[in-house]
Amino acid sequence: MTAFTTRPEIQGTFGVITSTHWIATAVGMGILERGGNAFDAAVAAGFVLQVVEPHLNGPGGDLPAIIHSARTGQTEVICAQGPAPSGATIAHYRAEGIDLIPGNGLLATVIPGAFDGWMLMLRDYGTMTLREVLEPAIHYAEHGHPMLPRVAGTIAGLADFFRAHWPSSATTWMPGGALPEAHALFRNPVLARTWQRVLSEAEAAPGREAGIEAARDAFYRGFIAEAIDRFCRENEVMDGSGNPHRGVLTAEDMAGWQAHVEAPLYGSYHDWTVAKTGPWGQGPVLLQGLKLLEGFDLGAMDPNGPDYIHTVIEAMKLAYADREVYYGDPLFHDVPMATLLSEEYAAQRRELIGAEASRDLRPGLVPGFETQHERTLAMLARMGTGAVYEPTMAHLSEKRGDTVHIDVIDRWGNMVSTTPSGGWLQSSPIIPELGFCLNSRAQMFWLEEGLPTSLAPGKRPRTTLTPSLALREGRPVMAFGTPGGDQQDQWQLAFFLRHVHHEANLQAAIDAPLFHSTHFPASFHPRTSSPAGMLIEGRMGAATITELRRRGHEITVAGDWDIGRMTAARREASGLLRAAATPRLMQAYAAGR
């Protein structure tokens, strides 16, 4: 096994928090220390992340969260994934001259859900006022924060495009026409004013909950919705199709939507149970992967050896193939999750994992879904190769958007795992009077009829955002997750299996060498794939990499610490809290006491 160094995990009993930025982590810990609970801390950290990591998420984005409430004893999902607007029809998009929804611009926009999700979490599970959780974000937007080198690099790479096509973004991200400098203070005063106005309208209402409702009204039925409506109607915006288009999102769309709470989807693995979102997200692929792998003695394998990596990769390829055919918004399509997660189905699929790497996309055939299966495979056969995935890792383009993640556990046992994303500075132009842009999540829809992921008004896109919460013997134990688009559940699976079978220390499990498949179609424009493709960190070792290549895996060797951005927090039965964050990219932090 290849040796590697690891930092100690964070431990405490008062509270722990992880996030993908040190400022957000510190803000969330401060909330816990002032008496707030895990939900208060997550909301405050979430708003700060929109300010300090604008290339990874923004106010116009979306979020899913899996939470556990110590008060009610319930584990639940907060769905703040906005659906497609009423004008988002296949016929309209085809009439606009496109056959694949671009990865940016206004046609790629769905209803922004993140704000309502944060407000629902604060109102129903938190304890603090809107001012207490929003003030840190306002402070950093108004007075400045040290700009991450990756943010500065992203802006520099898009500078000419911003100047030529998105002038409002040029004004925001290049104030005075100059490129921002890495580590220098950067301000977004327009966003600060937007949040100040929301706060003023909230505090004009009588009481905490009424104030939160007033804030929701300001965003979805007030001045923010009006500005978004006006911007989409009055502007043709250049996008990845090579042509400018107007958006179809309206104030009426926003006024008619709210975030909601729903039950998680559960999957078992030995004495563990993992809670995920439903199939409107990709989360169930982790559950399918676990069910497939339960039939192998992974604990007896070297977690850095070729047998282990080959087995895990081939299982994930099968799970993701099912994602392509069956997953989608269950409010619009029947998704056979009971079959996909059954022991019988897993046993059949497990037989497909052989000694060599498969180069084929092999979804299972569920009775009653034959036409859907055939139609999906026919469409995917027309797509190209050369995978395009989401994460802004060192070996990939910094012009692509990505995601952030937060885990929080407090002294009472409340837990939050949430993965906010969308509304990146790369998504679409800044709305001048608001200081933020809209999301590009609609690129996950297909412009083909009859599929679970076909574009339709009111339908949720099949998001890649996929937080996790694990229970052991029925007791909530661990919140974990990562940014990274299609790789999120692959990295989480690798972490979870190592933690369960090989490494109790959270930090060591996170720091272990990572890998992932690029075999299946990407969720992001241009939706291509790389048959038998795999990325693997170089410190996995030459012998392992050579053997995997011999088995037919098309391997790209990444830097030793380039893959994955995992964070995790765990609560022991004794009340001891533990947390860890990846050292990769040197951005994620864990804190606790």
Task: Return the structure tokens found at 123.
Answer: 């109102």
75-80 sheet: strands from edge to edge: 260-262, 75-80, 63-68, 415-418, 406-410, 15-19, 589-592
Q: How many CA atoms lie within 13 A of 64 on its CB side?
A: 30
Q: What is the CA radius of gyration of the chain?
A: 22
Q: How far apart are CA 250 and CA 53, in angstroms?
A: 27
pLDDT beneath 50: ranges in the chain: 1-4, 387-398
CB of 458 closer than 8 Å to CB of 216 = no
This prediction has a pTM of 0.95
pLDDT attached to residue 400: 54
Q: How many CA atoms lie within 13 A of 436 on its CB side?
A: 31
The amino acid present at 302, given as its one-letter code, is: D
Dihedral sign (CA 500, 503, 506, 510): negative
Closest CA to 458 of 332, 372, 334: 332
SS3 content of the chain, % helix, strand, coil (to 5): 40, 15, 45
Q: How far apart are CA 159 and CA 12, in angstroms?
A: 44
pLDDT digits (tens, 9 = 90+) for 309-349: 999 999 999 999 999 999 999 999 999 999 999 999 999 99
Angle formed at CA 447 by CA 445 and CA 448, multiple of 5 degrees: 110
Closest CA to 578 of 567, 587, 588, 562: 567
pLDDT attached to residue 526: 78
CB of 64 closer than 8 Å to CB of 466 = yes
Q: How far apart are CA 122 and CA 116, in angstroms?
A: 10
pLDDT attached to residue 465: 96
Q: Which helix (H) or strand (E) holds 192?
A: helix 189-203
Closest CA to 152 of 180, 184, 132, 175: 180
pLDDT attached to residue 462: 96
Q: Which CATH architecture has domain 286-398+483-580?
A: Orthogonal Bundle (1.10)
CB of 293 closer than 8 Å to CB of 497 = yes
Dihedral sign (CA 499, 265, 336, 88): negative
Residue with tokens 């290339």: 55
Q: How far, rounded to the nearest angstrom, does the alpha carbon of residue 324 sit from its chain's CA centroid?
A: 18
pLDDT attached to residue 574: 95
Residues in the chain: 593
Residue with tokens 């108004």: 142
pLDDT attached to residue 481: 97
